[in-house]
Structure 1
């Protein structure tokens, strides 16, 4: 509809109708977007549940592990039948008597599984191009393993902390009367050995004392072997390194071997690493089938 002004020129219809049309279009687009997002989340949930069931059987777990699909849109990946990244996490897994709280993590890349086959149950195995798996041993389990050495000092050890240390720091004692400073950054080099600082508190001669053991961890037949190299004592008054003869007697009390079990999907262990609070075994494998 148009109107005529006093000058006789036609005037455009009010903008109100145009704004209503734009508003309706925006609302329609928002609703469609919401439906697509809901469908994306719903389809992803179905896929994650099916993969979780297969991972539970593969890990021999009591409960379903957590599964998350990476990438921008699940449906886009589902239509192609290949998923860029799928992460699987199982927390608090008991491994024998000593390790009671192991975390298992796996990154699956290039997962090939059409959604229709998963939903219908016709897919018996899920091919995976590459798997990177790891098991994580926490400080509490490390402390428990040390206490099994049955010595009055280590059996009373509490508040154990685990921190990365360079292998150079492990091998180098500080000047007399000084203590080893915490390193800001440690090169992230994965291999069959790594340095670690284990610090805990114990009552020695009636005084609360912090013991810091600098050790090398090694990967030996899939197990984490902790080899202590030197020891520092710290209390409110002083910091000191024990004499060599005394260290030779005390250090073996902190020598332990941790068996975190097999890596997920039977990945071959290739490296050990240290992160704050964690000792980890890592490995990679290619061209596996999940659920076979």
Structure 2
């Protein structure tokens, strides 16, 4: 009985090792194809989902694979964009997985995302700006805001009832966002919050700044309309996103804490094609 138990344990260990080894080979092959298709300098991270990789190999189809590329530069504006893709229903012959000769990988469905972080948004806003207040913005934050809140402009500049509520809009072609940062005004540290609507454009996210608020120890301040207009114009700009992975067509923009995201889906994609 002891020998049987030991044999079973050894066999199980060998199966686990083989499963991890085969998965590593497959992940490397997918990473190389994704690197080529993304046009990346470094290999993206690839992770195979599912309980047993070898069982998926035997079936010839893989339930879920995620691909992540971090720190991707976009044009000369953004330096730290994250590219993420969820691949579902991947078909790959066993012989090509074992030999490492995968060239083209059919995928039933792809969901791709491009994520822009607050630091890159801040850098883009400050680029080529002569306005000293904008150039001194630090600690920029990104938070979701309902579009109804963005459009609300209190007459006296005071805080609205919804200002403290972070409510993301339903996923779609537009979304509300609150961009806040710290600036020095008249020697006093002041929080500047710009409420905007973001929308999809060809290869970019368009920011349409609607209103702003200044908050300091002295309370909430309303700027003269001329100065407010200048600041809103600075914040109203387009951020290039580059292309979504695997030629996915952008269909939605979303706002999460610290991140602006462009999303899209595609069906019947061939990884490594072209």
Q: TM-score, normalised by structure 1?
A: 0.87
The 5 Å alignment of 1:84-233 reads: 84-148=63-127, 149-174=129-154, 176=156, 177-178=158-159, 180-187=162-169, 189-233=170-214
Contact 2:115 2:261 in 1 (8 A): yes
Between the aligned partners of 2:134 and 2:225, the Cα distance in structure 1 is: 19
Between the aligned partners of 2:181 and 2:244, the Cα distance in structure 1 is: 29
CA offsets per residue over residues 146-200 of structure 1, 9 Å max, x none? 112331111111110011111111112357433553325435x221100000000
Contact 2:249 2:265 in 1 (8 A): yes
Q: SS where residue 37 of structure 1 aligns? A: helix
Contact 2:110 2:267 in 1 (8 A): yes
Shift of 1:34: 1.6
CA offsets per residue over residues 67-92 of structure 1, 9 Å max, x none? 00011110000111100111000000
1:270 aligns with 2:251: yes
State the structure with more CA Rg: 1
Contact 1:129 1:287 in 2 (8 A): yes
Aligned to 2:238: 257
Between the aligned partners of 2:200 and 2:215, the Cα distance in structure 1 is: 30
Contact 1:47 1:115 in 2 (8 A): no
Between the aligned partners of 2:270 and 2:246, the Cα distance in structure 1 is: 9
Structure 2 portions without partners, runs of 5+: none
Q: How many residues align?
A: 270
Q: TM-score, normalised by structure 2?
A: 0.93
Aligned to 1:47: 26
Higher deviation after alignment, 43-52 or 110-119: 110-119
Structure 1 portions without partners, runs of 5+: 1-20
Contact 1:136 1:281 in 2 (8 A): yes
Aligned to 1:239: 220
The 5 Å alignment of 1:49-68 reads: 49-68=28-47
**Taking CA–CA contacts closer than 8 Å with sequence separation of 6 or more, which of the two structures ends up with the larger relative contact order?**
2
Q: SS where residue 107 of structure 1 aligns? A: strand
